[in-house]
Amino acid sequence: MSYWNRETCQPTSHEGPISKEARILALCDPSDAYNKPLYDGPLPEGSKLLAIGSTLADFDKESIINQNPNVIFVSHPKAREPLVELLNKFPSVEWVHTRSAGIDFIASKGLFSSPVQLTNAKGMFSSTLAEYCMMVCSYYAKDLPRLMRQKNEANWEQYPVLEIRGSTLGVVGFGDIGRASAKLAKAYGMKVLGLKRSIPESFSDPYCDEIYDMTGLIELVQKSDYILVATPLTEQTQGLISKEVLAHCKKTAVLINVGRGPIIDEEALIEALANGNIKGAGLDVMTVEPLPKTSPLWHLDNCLISPHNMDMTVSFMRESTEFFISENLPRFVRGIELLNPVNKSAGY
């Protein structure tokens, strides 16, 4: 299996005969500017866009049905039910590609039990989320809240800061984002502990000092000064960072979440932050988004909140669409293995 990474991979030159056509349905918002490369073209040889829409009704037309669509590109945030309806309506579909790395917004029994191949945009968002991880580490190590208060008060008062070098980053979900974060952490002189659902026997990584399977979660948080949650949201990872896990963290620990909100027991996290059981948190994802104005998280001084935008560079989504067009579409029409296959039984 092959996976794409925007930092390390070079554009592929695709040659060879076209073995089949790609007839694409775009389950998307027609006004989504990030999809203009798909909407306006040009598309690779052997590929054509049949229709754009967000409901089954947008595609349930004789002119579309007769062409036997075989590819669905998904970016609409409310695509879960329409996608299953499309798969039932068009048994000719062979491949579904989602513009995001996470697939929780389309996850369903209908999708996972279907024979279609599923791919995603893994590797498109890792570098900027890794930068965010290190920013949160610096935010707490150098006490940026205090710096900002003193600036606002015109208060020149020196205070001791922490050194990131020599501290330990525990990465819950040592995948693409986790590894990119570990790479930066190593540049800072940190020790890195990783956790994966399954560990290959031959696992070896220059950016990971120790690797654990899921049974090692408690040990990992006990040893970590900063804990990065970068695992995808699945039935197995929902609530993974529980009240019990938080109770085993150091009181000086900082929890960083770039995965999905429900991976952390949010009520338990609020309690841990409010009671000083952990030092702080940096949250780019929440259990409910947008975060309700009534959430106690807004009022906790030791919780840094960002509106799920730390991977939202100016070009990030357009690049993700272009990956589908320039890398995977040419492979599909030539019968070549697609990049970024998703294990539907695992949910990522």
pLDDT number for residue 1:
57
Domain count, the chain: 2
Number of H helices, E strands in the chain: 12, 12
If asked whether residues 99 and 151 sit together in one domain, one would say: no
Assigned domain for 78 exists: yes
pLDDT number for residue 81:
98
Assigned domain for 103 exists: yes
97 has catalytic annotation:
no
Q: What is the CATH number of the domain that holds 167?
A: 3.40.50.720
d(CA 211, CA 301): 33
pTM confidence score: 0.91
If asked whether residues 131 and 68 sit together in one domain, one would say: no
pLDDT number for residue 9:
84
If asked whether residues 131 and 185 sit together in one domain, one would say: yes
d(CA 55, CA 85): 9
Assigned domain for 244 exists: yes
Assigned domain for 341 exists: no
- Where do we find the tokens 């299996």? 1
If asked whether residues 202 and 267 sit together in one domain, one would say: yes
Question: Residue 325 corresponds to which tokens in the numbers above?
Answer: 């067009």
If asked whether residues 150 and 200 sit together in one domain, one would say: yes
pLDDT number for residue 260:
97
User: Distances from the Cα of 214 to the Cαs of 223, 238, 255, 268, in angstroms?
Assistant: 15, 13, 18, 20
User: Distances from the Cα of 111 to the Cαs of 88, 97, 302, 304, in angstroms?
Assistant: 10, 12, 40, 35
Assigned domain for 2 exists: no
- Three-state DSSP at 119 gives strand
If asked whether residues 183 and 111 sit together in one domain, one would say: no
62 has catalytic annotation:
no
Catalytic residue among 14, 197, 308, 334: 308
248 has catalytic annotation:
no
If asked whether residues 135 and 95 sit together in one domain, one would say: no
Helix (H) or strand (E) holding 136: helix 126-141
If asked whether residues 152 and 297 sit together in one domain, one would say: yes
Chunked into runs of 10 residues, the chain (348 residues) has average pLDDT values of 81 91 98 97 97 97 97 97 98 97 94 97 93 98 98 98 98 96 98 95 96 98 98 95 98 98 98 98 98 98 97 92 97 97 89
- Strand ranges for 144-217 from DSSP E: 168-172, 191-195, 210-212
If asked whether residues 114 and 160 sit together in one domain, one would say: no
Any bridge partners for residue 118, and if so which?
96
**Structural domain span for residue 179:** 126-305
If asked whether residues 143 and 71 sit together in one domain, one would say: no
If asked whether residues 271 and 144 sit together in one domain, one would say: yes
Catalytic residue among 23, 179, 260, 331: 260
d(CA 46, CA 131): 39
Assigned domain for 223 exists: yes
Assigned domain for 132 exists: yes
Assigned domain for 347 exists: no
d(CA 170, CA 192): 6
If asked whether residues 130 and 267 sit together in one domain, one would say: yes
Catalytic residue among 7, 163, 244, 289: 289
- Three-state DSSP at 153 gives coil
